[in-house]
Amino acid sequence: MLTPSIQFAYLTRFGDTALILSQRLAEMCGKGPALEEDMALANTALDLLGQARLWLTYAGEIEAAGRDEDALAYLRGDREFHNLLLVEQPSSSYAHVLMRQFYFDVWHNLALARLESSTDPRIAEIAAKSRKETAYHLRRSSDLIVRLGDGTAESRARMASAADSLWPYTGEFFTADFVDSTMAEAGMAFDPHALRDDWLRFVRQVFEAATLHMPPLDAWMHKGGKQGLHTEHLSYLLAEMQVLHREHPGAAW
Amino acid sequence: MPINETFAPARPNIDQIRDWLRAVTDPEIPVVSIVDLGIVRDVAWSEDNNSCVVTITPTYSGCPATAVIQSRIRDELEEHGIARVELRVQLSPAWTTDWLSPQGRESLRAFGIAPPAGRASGQFTTILAEIASGAPQATPPCPHCGSTHTTPISQFGSTLCKALYRCQDCLEPFDYFKCH
């Protein structure tokens, strides 16, 4: 049965995923391999931060426990975050940054497109607003996968390695749990598994243009992020993101 | 003469208020008013309490100018004697550059920012076709010399709403207001 706590859990999945990827990209500010890339990372981070605020503000309203976007972003521990595992993975190399973004952008566009027809008008309008921004992100990440995959021997090898190492974190896009299925039954969300074919088709087309091989479709996949069970990387990210607010509660510009 | 007509404060009409709002600009694009940008979606007087209700929509969800724009709207209307302003933020329908007025487009160009070329779209098939053809997303005319011989330098620029281009004829770089 649909309850506010299920709606809250679902909304934080989208809000936390946008927030954590935004933080990962913001960590790269000033460290991009070229000025254009640095601007792209920071701008993408800003788009995702704006989207995270919309989701988390709404989640706080549904929860009706007096928590606003800041309380949710800064005062929860790792087990209370419901982001996808993929977005908390570290920026080990620039190939990882781009591949993480590409896998995510394809899924994000498909997922938001479904949410645009949610029976919850607030979810529908946040999704419609966000998808316009993420379509631009997808254009950039797809383009770079092709250019660096079909680039030098070195860039190709790095992209292929990143594609393989991040692949086991993509399974979580398509696995449903009780929260997903309850929201889908209420018409507020979608069946995650239904996105898989479109996602694979898009990734395959871009990989073909990039001369990259598709990782094995039956590979073992990580799961748990949506339920609050994370890789060790999330705690370190949260420590840095939350320290100011925790040390100086209520600090504002 | 009924008393309430004699003593009720004069309420400026909506067209007048819209005109005043033309003095409010986006701090990141100081030459275009928020009316011409399509940010102001509605202006109305509330029936119950004589406050002016201004409905606005954000350009990009992370745009840091949104808060500044809101306080500028209040300040501007206060200067014209409207003390009670209620701001409503509306997300749907999502803002699009298709709402830029002809005046807004011309002001951008005169300021050195190429206005959006074409209509907004974000369909999967469009993106795939563009990647397959290797063609850049748009080739906006250079705002300095008018040449259409332009190439993108960077998909992102100084703000969320802009990309960076260069003119191959006059060789000047310029900001392009992205189609959104």
| CATH code of the domain covering residue B59 | 3.30.300.130
Count of beta carbons in the 10 Å neighbourhood of residue A61:
14
Q: Are residues B46 and B87 in the same domain?
A: yes
SS3 content of chain A, % helix, strand, coil (to 5): 70, 0, 30
With an 8 Å Cβ cutoff, are A40 and B61 in contact? no
Residue after which a domain boundary falls, among B95, B111, B134:
B95
Considering only CB atoms, B91 lies closest to which of A43, A126, A146, namely A126
Residue pLDDT, tens place only, B135-153? 556 789 999 999 999 999 9
Nearest residue of chain A to residue B120 (CA atoms):
A132
Query: Which residue range is the domain that position B9 belongs to?
Result: 3-95
Residue after which a domain boundary falls, among B60, B95, B130:
B95
Q: Are residues B53 and B127 in the same domain?
A: no
SS3 state of residue B177: strand
SS3 state of residue B25: strand
Confidence of residue B7 (pLDDT cuts 50, 70, 90): low
Considering only CB atoms, A142 lies closest to which of B61, B131, B180, namely B131
CATH number of A4-247: 1.20.1260.10
pLDDT of residue B8: 52
Q: Are residues B71 and B146 in the same domain?
A: no
Q: Give B130's contacts in chain A (Cβ within 8 Å).
A: 139
Whether residue A221 lies within 8 A of chain B, CB to CB, comes out as no
Whether residue A200 lies within 8 A of chain B, CB to CB, comes out as no
Q: Are residues B40 and B86 in the same domain?
A: yes
Q: Are residues B81 and B131 in the same domain?
A: no
Q: Are residues B35 and B65 in the same domain?
A: yes
DSSP letter assigned to residue B156 = S
Residue pLDDT, tens place only, B87-131? 999 999 999 999 999 999 999 999 999 999 877 665 666 666 676
Nearest residue of chain A to residue B162 (CA atoms):
A43
Q: Which residue has the tokens 């995650």?
A: A192
Q: Give the Å distances, CA to CA, from B14 to B21, B57, B58, B80.
A: 11, 18, 21, 13
Total domains, chain B: 2
Q: Are residues B149 and B165 in the same domain?
A: yes
Q: Are residues B78 and B149 in the same domain?
A: no
pLDDT along chain A (253 residues), means of 10: 97 98 97 94 97 98 97 97 98 97 97 97 97 92 95 98 98 98 98 97 96 97 98 98 93 77
Nearest residue of chain B to residue A130 (CA atoms):
B61
**Domain residue ranges of chain A, discontinuous segments joined by +:** 4-247
Interface confidence, given as ipTM, is 0.87
